[in-house]
Amino acid sequence: MRLRTLTLAAASGAALLAAGALPANASANAPTSAQEGSVSAADLLAKVTSCAQISHGKYQTDEETSATVPVCGKNGAVFWKADMDVDCDGQRTTNCNENRDPWYQDDTAFHQSDGKPLRAESLPYVVVPSSSSIWNYSGAGIKGGGVVAVVYNNKVEYAVVGDTGPTKIIGEASYATAKALGIDPDPATGGADSGVTYILFKNSKASPIESHSAAVSLGDQLAKQFLANN
């Protein structure tokens, strides 16, 4: 999870640039393609053009921004449209550690089947805001391991709900999610300023949570149901 400030991001970026480029093999384990399943980005986006707000307020995308992002309800899913900050929390890896990420934490809210934290560098996961008076994700049928369709730049990437973040900020996903969607995954300087749609399927769960193939298989089925029911 991250409490991002633009000033700190800029400073960290300068430090990373001074340290040199990333190793060529730094992200060998991360997904490299992002049209997963058989449902197109256009078809998914066509179902989320309007918002029936279910949150009791709106979220900020960063600490410096005003609260403009609602959580919206659909049949079988909730969604929001925001930016993407890059989460590197969980197991230490080549690109996800305290040297690469000024906000790094060595744990995630939800864990692998062996009890270890998730691996942000190789597992596509999404961060949901911690429960608050604005919105309680669990009350909406969203849980750890729940399947998410993340849509950006005409690409679809299936991910799982893997971590929780600040109560007032929304729009964050793992290093692997960003990389697969063609977004700069650098946790300090990367991410996307806007244009990311997160569709979270209610009462779903990829098993085990660390299996990306399980998320893709279930996600494709749920996406088809989503199109049929909305």
Q: What is the pLDDT of residues 189-230, one digit of tens each?
A: 999 999 999 999 999 999 999 999 999 999 999 999 999 999
pLDDT at residue 118 greater than cutoff 70: yes
Residue 114 backbone phi and psi in degrees, to 5? -90, 5
pLDDT at 114: 98
What is the rounded distance in angstroms from the CA atom of residue 122 to the CA atom of residue 66? 32
Q: What angle do CA 131, 190, 220 make, to 5 degrees?
A: 60
Q: What whole-number distance in Å separates Cα of residue 207 and Cα of residue 27?
A: 24
Residue ranges and CATH numbers for the domains of the chain are 6-17+34-229 (2.40.40.10)
Given this model, what pLDDT does residue 100 score? 96
Distance CA(74)–CA(67), nearest Å, equals 21
Q: Rg of the chain over CA atoms, in angstroms?
A: 16
Residue 127 has φ and ψ, to the nearest 5°, of -100, 130
pLDDT of residue 34: 61
Report residue 89 CA to chain centroid gap.
Answer: 12
**Looking at residues 92-117, what average pLDDT do you find?**
97
Distance, CA of 162 to CA of 40 (rounded, Å): 24
Cis peptide upstream of residue 129 (ω within 30 degrees of 0): no
Question: Average pLDDT over the chain, rounded to whole?
Answer: 89
Report which of residues 108 and 17 the model is more confident about.
108
Assess whether pLDDT exceeds 60 at residue 29: no
Residue 107 C-alpha from the chain's centroid: 16
Looking at residue 130, the DSSP 8-state letter turns out to be P
- Of residues 146 and 22, the one with the higher pLDDT is 146
- pLDDT class of 187 with cuts at 50, 70, 90: very high
Phi, psi (5° rounding) for residue 93?
Answer: -140, -175
| Residue 2, pLDDT above cutoff 70 | no
Mean pLDDT of 131-158: 98
pTM above 0.85, yes or no: yes
Question: Does 59 or 34 have the greater pLDDT score?
Answer: 59
Residue 178 has pLDDT above 60, yes or no: yes
